[in-house]
Every structure is written in structure tokens, then in C-alpha cells.
Amino acid sequence: MSVRTLRLASGLVLVLYVTVHLLNHSLGVITVDAQEAVRKVLSPIWRSVPGTLLLYTALLVHPVLGLYALWRRETLRMPSWELAQLALGLAIPLLLIPHVFSTRVSASMLGTDTTYALVVEALSSKPENIVRQTFLVVIVWAHLMVGLHFWLRVKANYRRWLVVAYPFAVMVPLLALLGFWGASVELRSSAAAAGRAGVPAAYGSGYDAVTPGIYDAAGYGTARPDPARHTLLETRKDAASVTVIALLALVLLARMARRFLRARRGVYRIFHSNGRSLTAPIGQSLLEALREAGIPHASVCGGRARCTTCRVRVGASLIMLPPPGPAEVHALERIGAAPDVRLACQLRPQRDVHITPLLPAGAGAAQAGAGGIPGRERVVVVMFVDLRESSRLGEERLPYDVFFILNRFFAEMADALRETRGYYSTFNGDGFMALYGISTDVAQGCRDAMRGAIAVSGRLAQINAALASELRHPLRAGISIHAGEAIVGTMGPPATPILSALGDTVNVAARLEAETKLHRCALVVSAACALAADMDFSGFPEHVATVRGREQPVGYYAIEDTAALVPLLRLAEERLRGGDGGVAGATTAETRPGLEAPVAETGKAER
């Protein structure tokens, strides 16, 4: 189990315990008896052998791993949320130790039952106890919420659950404190009504001035606990506090010593794409070096290899860098990153490195890259689909009817793409662009795109059949398919990014779609795509088109009915199953003379 996984697992155990514990506290707004009734149900679970091992292992492991994380940091320059989480986490043990020793440890050493009545009466006996307990609840809950938020915010659908999670996060500590104060008022009122006077108690940790009736409930009666055991309890409590302080001081001193030693090992230089260069000691991560130099750099997860927003392109420096570790490999594979992309939070160069950040410094969780693809040049298959004579549809039908028909059209088209491994990219009025070959080689992508064209035609026929009584003229569409190099990646607003492509290949595909009108055919397939698919298109008419801004003309085939592709696809699959792959496995423009390697540009094609 990795350190990160162990820290997360121990944290989640504590999240469960703290949440249940505070919810139990909140019952004090009703009555102390309600608190005590629930405690009697929960206490045997947490005080059982498995519960005790789980809880106290988490209580020891999580702070120790927190100190380890502090040790690993080369710099204390960090975003405010990380600094808040770190500061809160370091404060918790010192506030928690008195409470733990006065309840669970005291119950074990002194043989008493720490009921809600006893603990609440003791805590409310002194103003400093009330203040400490209030701070403890607020700090523990704030630390817990910050950690959960920055773990979950890169997860899918997290924002959708915030509507429920945010009120819960606010109300739990508030109700817990109200429950504590309500129980305190109830106990004091009961004691005053009974005419009981407070008596001193050698209970420890400031739990004094507890009434006799409360002692009876705790199992003391009028007797005091064994003074020797009480002294031992206080000694161990003080020793635990000193130990925590000593460990923190040791980590801070060790950080200073490590920095001194690493300065003697040498430095590496970072050449940033913004023109700045800086030096950093060998062993310091790229993200830490940038932060220490005051250069803003994205890192949603705080350098834990969860979000990939800190990714950089290292170019030719790749061969001189240490290989990525398992966490970095997993994160980069998840987004389909290019070989020369590394995570700044995990990369610890030992030689000079040139970097280009791939996301803006202010990138948020929506740009974390889960399921996304960083922009890079690759061979891709582009399909354009355009609904014919949609303007006439608007003249014949009411706007709401047109809206319904177009929504039905796009829904069916999305299903057709999903069935054939296509990616819906963008739409423009009555048409859309789709990408193929994102998760396969270009040969398979071309064949999948042709299957997509067949599926699009089939779905369109189903729409016409279903709406035959509503449409004066059946819906028709023009489809074009082209393959070549383009810049492919997730684009658009941070909250709603889409997978899209830019470049000459996209322009050519858009221009070819217009050729379907010229030849009154359903589909146009470029010669480059036919060659990449390793399919014989000699039975279809071949034409040439010119594209504005492009010197070389583009060859293509006009196909009147997409059903004509079915036997060609069957032959291609049979040839592949028979072991004769032909040239279908070629995936790059260099091994495919029919696939040009155009210069990427973003202008739209002349339609």
C-alpha cells in the first residue's frame, strides 16, 4: 500500500468517526439522555478490539504521515488552502490529546464509564475547557472538510453533490456545538433544581467541579479515583503533548539539515517557456521549485498526482529525466498524455530541463484532465455531418417543432457515434463534427468512421419513418470523412470542455462535406482515408477538390448510398482475421504517403 493510499485510508476512518461523533453531540439540543442512548449503541463498536485497532491505528498513522508529508516538502510556499490544511492538521494533536486522555484513556486507566453527563459537566465547568473544546470541534471539522474537498473536487459529479454536501458541512459542527451547550445548560439546571453543590474531582485534565450525582453515574459514587493512577494519567498526557511538539521540531530541523546537504549535491536549471530561468537543488520537485521562485503554476490537488493540472511538456529534455513513478504513470495514462508530458509535482530532475506548462496557472478542477486529452499533434479521422435543407424545415414548421426534430436528430446521431467508437466534438446549427481513431490506430479509425456513416444513414431513416406524418420532405444529410494530422485535445470553457481538433485536416473534411451537395450523394470519403483504411474504393467515382489556403488538391470518392460500404468493410475485416493486414496497421503520415502532414491552422474551410 502506497503512502498516499495509507494516508487517505486513515483519513477516511477518522472522517467516519468524527462525523458520527459530532452527530451524536448534536442530540444534546434534545436532551442528554438522547446523547447517552446513542453513545451506548456506538461505544461497543468503537471500543471492541477491531474498532479500537482501526481507530487508534488511524489516529497514529494519519498525523505521522502528515509529518512525513511536511518532511517531503522542499518549500513551505504553497497555496492558501494547502497552508490552512497543514496548519490545522498540526494544531489538532495538541488540542486533541487532553480530550482523549480525559475520556477514552481515563476510562481505561481509572475504570470509569465516561458518560455524556460526566464529560459535558466537566468540560463546561471552566471557561478555558469550553473554549478549547469549541476550537477543537471547529479545527478538526475544518481540516476534515478541506481534505475531503480537495480530494473529491477532481471526481466526476462532485459539483452536483455540493448542493447537499455544503449544507451538511456547515450544519454538523454548528449542531454539535449547540448540542454541547444545550446539554451543559440542562445538566446545570438539573443540578440547581436538586440543590446539589459542586465538589472537586480528581478526574484530571481540568474535569473538576463535577456534581455528586454525575459521579454516581460515572461509577465513582462519593469516592475519588486512585490518586496514583490519576497522577500517572496526567504524566502520560503531558508526555504525549511533549512528544508531539518534539516530533514537529525534529521534522523542521531535519528539513533544514536536508536543505543544507542538498545544496552541496548540486543544482539543476529550469528553462521556462515564459523566458525565465531558475536554479533548484537536486531532489526538489519541479512544482516546488516553481513555487519557491514565485512562478504561478497550476496544481489543483496540491501535488498529489491526482489531477494532472500541473503537467508540463519537457520536449527533448525527456531523455535526461528520471523515469516516472507508479503514481505519475497512472495519472498520465488516464489522460492519454504524450511521452514528453510529465507531472511537475512528481518530476525531480537531476539535469537541466526545458518546460512548457500545458494549462494556465489558474486552472481549476474542471480542467483536471480526468478523461481528457492534452492538446497534441496526431493522426485522426474527422467526420462532418450536415442536415440538408434545414432552412426549408424552419419555413414549414413552428419553431418548437423544429426544436423537437433537431433534438431528435442530434440524439440519434450521438447514439450512432457511440455505437461505432466515435467522439461527438462540436455542432453548428444543423450539423456536427465527430472524431474517430482517438483510442485506436488510424486504419481502424477510418473503418469505424465508415461504420459511423452507415449508422448515421440508418438512424436518419428511422427518424424519417417515425416522423413520416410530420415531415413534408424526408430529412437528408451529407457526410464527409477525411484522415490526417491535427491538433487534438480538450478545448472550450473550463466548466464544459469538449474533445475537439484543429488544423488543415479539419478544414479539408469540412470542405469535402460541401461536395456531397455537388454530386447529390450521401457520403464523400477522401482518398487519404480510403488508403489508410486499406479498402478498395475503385468502384466509386473519384474526384478532386481544391481547398482555399491549400496548394495541393484533395482527391475523394463520392458514394451515393452508404450501404455500398458494407461489403467493403466485410472484406477488410475478413482480410484482417485471415492475417493479411496489408498496410492497415500503418498509423502515421510518415508511413503513409497518402496521408499528408499539413501545417496546423485554425481557419474555417470555404463552404
Let me know if 169 is exposed, middle or buried by CB neighbors in 10 A (0-12, 13-18, 19+): middle
Residues composing the chain: 607
Return averaged pLDDT per consecutive 10 residues of the chain, 607 residues in all: 82 93 92 90 90 91 88 75 82 87 76 78 81 90 87 75 87 92 85 53 39 40 59 85 92 85 81 87 88 85 80 87 90 81 91 86 56 67 88 70 83 89 82 89 93 94 87 88 88 67 90 92 95 91 86 91 93 77 39 36 34
Residue 275 falls within a domain, yes or no?
yes
Q: What are phi and psi of 490, to 5 degrees?
A: -85, 130
Are 323 and 391 within one domain? no
Q: How far is CA 329 from CA 4, 198, 302, 319, in A?
A: 15, 64, 18, 16
Are 285 and 236 within one domain? no
Q: How far is CA 58 from CA 139, 341, 596, in A?
A: 18, 36, 59
Are 11 and 158 within one domain? yes
Are 454 and 507 within one domain? yes
Owner of C-alpha cell 456513416:
453
Q: What is the pLDDT of residue 495?
A: 54
Q: Which residues pair with 426 in a beta bridge?
A: 433
CA distance 303 to 78: 10
Are 36 and 108 within one domain? yes
Residue 221 falls within a domain, yes or no?
yes
Among 234, 256, 278, identify where a domain stops. Answer: 256
Q: Do 336 and 440 touch, CB atoms closer than 8 A?
A: no
Q: What angle do CA 559, 561, 563 make, to 5 degrees?
A: 115
Residue 607 falls within a domain, yes or no?
no
Residue 174 falls within a domain, yes or no?
yes
- Which CATH number characterizes residue 320's domain? 3.10.20.30
Are 230 and 340 within one domain? no
Among 206, 228, 256, identify where a domain stops. Answer: 256
Residue 262 falls within a domain, yes or no?
no
Are 99 and 233 within one domain? yes
- Please state whether 421 falls in left (phi above 0), alpha (psi between -120 and 50) or beta: left
How many domains in the chain?
3
Residue 52 falls within a domain, yes or no?
yes
Residue 600 falls within a domain, yes or no?
no
Q: What is the pLDDT of residue 151?
A: 81
Are 21 and 169 within one domain? yes
Residue 599 falls within a domain, yes or no?
no
Are 301 and 424 within one domain? no
Q: Where are the beta strands (DSSP E) in 348-476?
A: 353-357, 376-387, 423-428, 431-436
Give 431-455 as a 3 state SS string.
EEEEEECCCCCHHHHHHHHHHHHHH
Q: Do 190 and 336 touch, CB atoms closer than 8 A?
A: no
Are 66 and 162 within one domain? yes
Q: Do 503 and 542 touch, CB atoms closer than 8 A?
A: no
Q: How far is CA 180 from CA 25, 31, 87, 119, 190, in A?
A: 6, 10, 26, 10, 15
Q: What is the pLDDT of residue 494?
A: 55
Beta-carbon count within 10 A of 237 CB:
19
Residue in 259, 270, 271, 337 with CA at minimum distance from that of residue 305: 337
Are 361 and 380 within one domain? no
- Please state whether 79 falls in left (phi above 0), alpha (psi between -120 and 50) or beta: beta
Domain with 109, as residue range(s), is: 3-256
Are 362 and 460 within one domain? no
- Which CATH number characterizes residue 388's domain? 3.30.70.1230
Q: Cell numbers for 247, please give them.
A: 516530533
Q: What is the pLDDT of residue 424?
A: 85
Beta-carbon count within 10 A of 500 CB:
20
Residue 487 DSSP symbol: E
Quick check: helix, strand or coil at residue 592?
A: coil
Among 256, 281, 312, identify where a domain stops. Answer: 256
